[in-house]
Amino acid sequence: MVMVERVEAIYQDVVKRNPGEVEFHQAVKEVLECLGPVLVKYPDFTEAKIIERICEPERQTIFRVPWQDDRGEVQINRGFRVQFNSALGPYKGGLRFHPSVYLGIIKFLGFEQIFKNSLTGLPIGGAKGGSDFDPKGKSDNEVMRFCQSFMTELWRIIGEHTDVPAGDIGVGGREIGYLFGQYKRLTNKFEAGVLTGKGLVYGGSQVRTEATGYGCTYFVEEMLKGKKNGLKGKKVVVSGSGNVAIYTLEKVHQLGGKVIAMSDSNGVIVDERGCNIETIQQLKEVERRRIKDYCDYHRHAKYIHGGNIWDVPCDVAMPSATQNEVTGKDAKKLVKNGCIAVGEGANMPTTPDGVQVFLSAGVLFGPGKAANAGGVATSALEMQQNAGREAWGFEETDAKLHQIMKNVYQLCSEAADEFGSPGNFVVGANIAGFIKVARAMSAHGLV
Ligand code: NDP
Ligand code: 2IT
């Protein structure tokens, strides 16, 4: 897509002001490319410089995280929290612990989060944080000491009405537990709503663990329903084997599809009979092992070390590992092999040329900020329960999530129609997400 001239100038300025942050540039470019028609309809957004303001985080914090490993050796990591936009509610977004983390990744994720959170219809602003800490191969005690040190800085800038972190890559129930324990100790308050993704015994919500994968699958089902189709009988490929991938697998099977391949950063498993959820949960959630060990339990399955999961022919692809994992070449291969729908469980998993390949081929394409919004939406439901000192049941919460995903799909679909790109949910998600935030920012004056 081409940017209108004024927006192009804003984008060039973002690149200049944020040197080297390539993932952030990529995320900004994709949103800005869609906004031309919005500025025509809402000229006051231009006058108030809403786009320029939305591209500049409200606050960014970078801090030292010192901790001691099991051998007593001192380790130093870097911690981040980018509080990007609070026009719609308290800052909200996950924490990522992965060695690749640097400011550019946290800013891309925080920027995406603004529009995603807007699409959920719930009162949450956008943020992201994390660290270059690598949880792989660390003992529970090491992870605990790291989380305690991380929170010893983070607690100053978060709070149930200020900023509410949650999980992302490398941060799940175990880490949220340690982070919550340290926050509670430092503040001397049981402030349940300060973190989401908590355990069910201390203020967590039913369905939060499942929410991103379930929600992404609901979104794909909605896209297919729009074409009088459905997941029933479809062959699905899901990259990754973490939180999002596991519950995508579960929901796809519940809706009658079959997940035939999954992966981790080392390789791919292919199980034509359908991947077994219990085995994967035991391996990944309990024992923290590698996906290759799946074949020890299912001898008929194949492990391809260093393989590319997008080479596996499928009807539906659900990238659920990390950014830029589906290239233009991968997208062409998927299209050639008959893929008809893509649901992005991960954040920005498809490169810009990959997105173009899917859109030009007429593949139904659910961009991450819409398709994976179920995770943060259920986090907002967790905040709602914490505020009301309530705990809803599984079915009730799942029904709310399902309805939210239908609404997100509707919003994207209607905005795409209204702004001249019917069926293009990238345009739809970016425009619908942006307009609500821009309106709130306009209402708040120059802040
Ligand atoms: P997990 O840490 O639970 O799992 C991540 C999975 O992706 C693992 O299988 C991991 O493999 C793989 N992976 C991670 N980084 C890379 C990499 N650089 N190259 C190859 N594979 C990689 O994370 P989640 O499932 O929570 O997150 C997955 C994606 O979903 C992320 O993009 C995240 O931002 C997004 N997301 C998560 C939400 C949530 O609620 N958790 C909500 C919305 C989006 P390995 O073990 O080998 O590293
Ligand atoms: O990318 C995301 O939306 C998440 N990692 C979930 C954020 C949240 O606050 O639940």
Q: Is residue 283 part of a domain?
A: yes
Does residue 160 sit in the same domain as residue 73?
Answer: yes
Q: Is 169 in the pocket of ligand 1 (CB under 6 A)?
A: yes
How many angstroms separate the CA atoms of 132 and 129, rounded? 10
Q: What pLDDT does residue 145 have?
A: 98
Q: Whose CA is nearest to atom 10 of ligand 2?
A: 376
Q: What is the CA radius of gyration of the chain?
A: 21
Q: Is residue 65 part of a domain?
A: yes
Question: Mean pLDDT throughout 420-430?
Answer: 97
Q: 178-199 pLDDT, tens per residue?
A: 999 999 999 999 999 999 999 9
Neighbours of 41 (CB within 10 A): 11
Ligand 1 atom nearest to 263, measured from its CA: 9
Tokens of 142: 């090491």
Question: Mean pLDDT throughout 417-421?
Answer: 97
Q: Whose CA is nearest to atom 9 of ligand 2?
A: 93
Does residue 75 sit in the same domain as residue 160?
Answer: yes
Does residue 228 sit in the same domain as residue 181?
Answer: no
Amino acid, res. 183: Y
Does residue 141 sit in the same domain as residue 258?
Answer: no
Q: 372-383 pLDDT, tens per residue?
A: 999 999 999 999
Q: Is 347 in the pocket of ligand 2 (CB under 6 A)?
A: yes
Does residue 231 sit in the same domain as residue 361?
Answer: yes
Does residue 92 sit in the same domain as residue 149?
Answer: yes
- Which band of pLDDT confidence, cut at 50, 70 and 90, is reported for residue 344? very high
Q: What pLDDT does residue 2 have?
A: 67
Does residue 232 sit in the same domain as residue 138?
Answer: no
**Residue 240 belongs to domain with CATH number:** 3.40.50.720
Tell me: pLDDT of 368 over 70.
yes
Q: 311-331 pLDDT, tens per residue?
A: 999 999 999 999 999 999 999
Q: 100-147 pLDDT, tens per residue?
A: 999 999 999 999 999 999 999 999 999 999 999 999 999 999 999 999
Q: Is 333 in the pocket of ligand 2 (CB under 6 A)?
A: no
Does residue 159 sit in the same domain as residue 249?
Answer: no
335 close to 358: Cβ distance less than 8 angstroms: yes
Does residue 254 sit in the same domain as residue 178?
Answer: no
Going from the Cα of 301 to the center of ligand 1, the distance in angstroms, rounded, reads 23
Nearest to 105 by CA among 88, 85, 130: 130
Does residue 281 sit in the same domain as residue 139?
Answer: no
Q: What pLDDT does residue 1 have?
A: 67
Nearest ligand, CA of residue 344?
Answer: 1
Q: What pLDDT does residue 4 have?
A: 86
Q: Is residue 439 part of a domain?
A: no
Domains held by the chain: number = 2
User: What is the overall mean pLDDT for the chain?
Assistant: 98
Task: Return the sign of the alpha-carbon dihedral for residues 169, 403, 381, 107.
Answer: positive
Q: 59-106 pLDDT, tens per residue?
A: 999 999 999 999 999 999 999 999 999 999 999 999 999 999 999 999
Question: Mean pLDDT throughout 17-36?
Answer: 98
Q: 205-218 pLDDT, tens per residue?
A: 999 999 999 999 99
Among the candidates 337, 366, 395, a domain finishes at 366
Determine the distance from the C-alpha atom of residue 53 to the mean position of all C-alpha atoms in its chain, rounded to a whole number: 23
Nearest to 366 by CA among 207, 167, 210, 215: 215
Nearest to 193 by CA among 180, 211, 182, 181: 180
Beta partners for 370?
Answer: none
Q: Is residue 232 part of a domain?
A: yes
Q: Is residue 167 part of a domain?
A: yes
Q: Is 375 in the pocket of ligand 2 (CB under 6 A)?
A: yes
Q: Is residue 205 part of a domain?
A: no
16 an active-site residue? no
* Length of the chain, in residues: 447
**pTM for this predicted structure:** 0.98
127 close to 93: Cβ distance less than 8 angstroms: yes
Q: Is residue 93 part of a domain?
A: yes
Q: What pLDDT does residue 217 have?
A: 99
Q: Which residues contact 230 (CB under 8 A, 6 or more apart)?
A: 221, 224, 255, 256
Percent of the residues in the chain that have a pLDDT greater than 90, as a whole number: 99
Range of the domain at 111: 59-189
**Residue 144 belongs to domain with CATH number:** 3.40.50.10860
Beta partners for 79?
Answer: 63, 131
Going from the Cα of 421 to the center of ligand 1, the distance in angstroms, rounded, reads 31
State the catalytic residue, choosing from 92, 107, 116, 128.
128
442 close to 50: Cβ distance less than 8 angstroms: yes
Q: Is residue 184 part of a domain?
A: yes
How many angstroms separate the CA atoms of 311 and 308, rounded? 6
Tell me: pLDDT of 391 over 90.
yes
Nearest ligand, CA of residue 110?
Answer: 2
Q: Whose CA is nearest to atom 5 of ligand 1?
A: 242
